[in-house]
Amino acid sequence: MTLPLHHPDDQLLIGYASGQERAGKSLLVATHLAYCPDCRRRVASFEALCGSWFEELPCNDHDGLDALLDRMDGLLTAAHAPAEAKPPKPLAAGSLGGRPVPEPLRSWLPEAIDTPTDDGTWREIAKGVWLSGWERTLSGTTICLLRMASGAPVPAHRHTADELLLVLQGAFSDEYGSYAVGDVAQYVADTDHHASGASEEDCICLFLLDGVLIFLDEAGNPA
Amino acid sequence: MPGRSDQDPDQDRPAQTLDADRLGVLVVAVARDRDRKAFASLFRHFAPKILQYCLKLGADRSMAEELVQDVMLTVWLKADSFDPAQATVGTWVFTIARNRRIDRLRKEMRPAPDLEDPAMTPQSLATPEESAQLVQSSRHLQNAIDSLAANQSEVLRRSYFLEQTHEEIAEDTEVPLGTVKTRLRLALGHLKRSLGDKA
């Protein structure tokens, strides 16, 4: 079993642990955690750090809190454990060559993500590179799927804010390394990077972007 | 609350600091025996912290009190899910408070992995080498956290736990903005070194 080799940076992991990170990037981090026992432990350490900061908060302001405790009495009597959390969304049979997308992302995605590229759910942005028609906006972050055929390069583009990729199927590579299922690639604003598909099957990634994405033509002008 | 003052001679005493072991015993008493006196002790320990936490993150007083009630009710209902092998009671209550305030104050959901999900990569699938690596990297991170300079730990606390901007930190701690940014960069660099040669 090969565990992920490329992880979200500590800013994202601490932000996820503390609750400072917003929902969009948290969705990507949480899904990476489902693939990555190493980052699960790292997040647990950061949660413990936040727990120690929480414990250091002053506890001398009892103003009104005793009354609140009294008011809770009836609640405790009436309260029943909530019904079991809803079970995870069933795994679609045969999807993704036996490596289904884990929760929490699976519940967000369409039933099958590796649908034929000509079935109208994909928009080709360059030869062998597609963006999904499926798109969500969460706390200001745009989320969709990026698909790369083997060897197909993602066209040059410019982004004014962070761009994040999480591999869900296949593999891709760029000048920094190669990325397989569960790996995260993180590009800060205005960095040059050149991803292209690097697996026999199409590589499908969760694609997150803060702000606008502008594809450039061959002369480097906005297309 | 009929009869509570008979059962609970501690209730008018000032709150005392409870250590981690004692807090664990109280949570077990709540989980196993539905012990209201133990719950009252947990409430007195944590309610002021939850209140402070919510106020610092922008809740008004009545919303903060509502969140205190919300979080403590979750403690009451979910006490049996507390696992001392995973976290201290303080960390466990922090995670409940964090999730509830994201839900109520920010009106967002908090995505989290589902431990029951068959598609999740369990740690048991790691090779022995990978497992050894996991244990070691988590020890390295703990060492790095413990050895953070106090002023670096403080900027981490303010930016991630209190969600202050760099400008707010500079103003509150009376240091230049550039120093705040430097300390934050040094703190993250210090933690990153604990990753060793991993990306």
Q: Is A11 on the interface with B (CB under 8 A)?
A: yes
Q: Closest to A37 (Cβ–Cβ): which among B39, B126, B188?
A: B126
Q: Is A14 on the interface with B (CB under 8 A)?
A: yes
| Residue where a domain terminates, one of B73, B104, B135 | B104
| Residue where a domain terminates, one of B39, B74, B104 | B104
- Domain assignment present for residue B111? The answer is no
Q: Closest to A23 (Cβ–Cβ): which among B43, B111, B121?
A: B111
> Is there a contact between A68 and B122 if contact means CB atoms under 8 Å apart?
no
Provide the shortest C-alpha distance from residue B28 to chain A (in Å): 16
Output the domain CATH number for residue B136: 1.10.10.10
| Residue corresponding to tokens 């727990």 | A51
- Domain assignment present for residue B5? The answer is no
Instruction: Provide, as residue numbers in chain B, all residues whose Cβ is less than 8 Å from the Cβ of A5.
Output: 198-199
Helix (H, G, I), strand (E, B) or coil at A73: helix
Q: Looking at the structure, do residues B100 and B29 belong to the same domain, yes or no?
A: yes
Tell which A residues from 123 to 142 touch B, by Cβ distance under 8 Å: 139
Helix then strand count (H, E) for chain B reads 9, 0
> Is there a contact between A20 and B163 if contact means CB atoms under 8 Å apart?
yes
Architecture of the structural domain at A101-215: Sandwich (2.60)
The whole-number pLDDT of residue B198 equals: 47
Q: Looking at the structure, do residues B98 and B19 belong to the same domain, yes or no?
A: yes
Count: domains in chain B: 2
- Domain assignment present for residue B2? The answer is no
Rounded Cα distance, B199 and B184, in Å: 20
The residue range of the domain holding B90 is: 10-104
Q: Is the pLDDT of residue A216 over 90?
A: no
| Neighbouring C-beta atoms of residue A129, cutoff 10 Å | 23
- Pull the structure tokens for residue B74: 């979750």
Q: Closest to B94 (Cβ–Cβ): which among A14, A33, A54?
A: A54
Q: What is the pLDDT of residues B5-22, one digit of tens each?
A: 444 444 444 445 788 899
Provide the shortest C-alpha distance from residue B86 to chain A (in Å): 8
| Neighbouring C-beta atoms of residue A193, cutoff 10 Å | 15
Q: Looking at the structure, do residues B66 and B26 belong to the same domain, yes or no?
A: yes
Q: Looking at the structure, do residues B70 and B135 belong to the same domain, yes or no?
A: no
Instruction: Provide, as residue numbers in chain A, all residues whose Cβ is less than 8 Å from the Cβ of B119.
Output: 34, 88, 91, 99-103, 106
The whole-number pLDDT of residue B188 equals: 96
What are the domain boundaries of chain A? 101-215
Which helix (H) or strand (E) is B163 found in, with range? none
Tell which A residues from 57 to 76 touch B, by Cβ distance under 8 Å: 57-62, 64-66, 68-73, 75-76
- Pull the structure tokens for residue A61: 């302001």
Helix then strand count (H, E) for chain A reads 4, 11
The whole-number pLDDT of residue A92 equals: 62
What ipTM was assigned to the predicted interfaces of this complex?
0.90
B64-87 in b/e form (b: 16+ CB < 10 A) is bbbbbbbbbbbbbbbbeebeeeeb
- Domain assignment present for residue B198? The answer is no
Give the chain B residue nearest A79 (alpha carbons). Answer: B77
Backbone angles phi, psi at B193, to 5 degrees: -60, -25
Provide the shortest C-alpha distance from residue A46 to chain B (in Å): 9
Rounded Cα distance, A113 and A107, in Å: 12
| Exposed/middle/buried for residue A202 (C-beta within 10 Å: 0-12, 13-18, 19+) | buried
- Domain assignment present for residue B99? The answer is yes
The whole-number pLDDT of residue A160 equals: 77
Q: Is the pLDDT of residue A75 over 90?
A: no
Rounded Cα distance, A172 and A34, in Å: 20
> Is there a contact between A1 and B11 if contact means CB atoms under 8 Å apart?
no
Give the chain A residue nearest B19 (alpha carbons). Answer: A55
Alpha-carbon distances of B48 from A54, A58, A61, B52, B53, rounded to whole Å: 11, 7, 6, 6, 9
The whole-number pLDDT of residue A98 equals: 59
Give the chain B residue nearest A108 (alpha carbons). Answer: B111
Q: Is the pLDDT of residue A223 over 80?
A: no
Q: Is the separation of the CB atoms in A201 and A95 below 8 Å?
A: no
pLDDT-derived band at B1, boundaries 50, 70, 90: very low
Q: Looking at the structure, do residues B82 and B22 belong to the same domain, yes or no?
A: yes
Provide the shortest C-alpha distance from residue B125 to chain A (in Å): 6
Provide the shortest C-alpha distance from residue B193 to chain A (in Å): 11
Mean pLDDT for B43-69 is: 95
Residue type, A198: A
Q: Looking at the structure, do residues B183 and B131 belong to the same domain, yes or no?
A: yes
* Angle made by CA atoms B1, B24, B142, in degrees to the nearest 5: 140
Across A16-30, A72-86, B83-97, least confident range:
A72-86
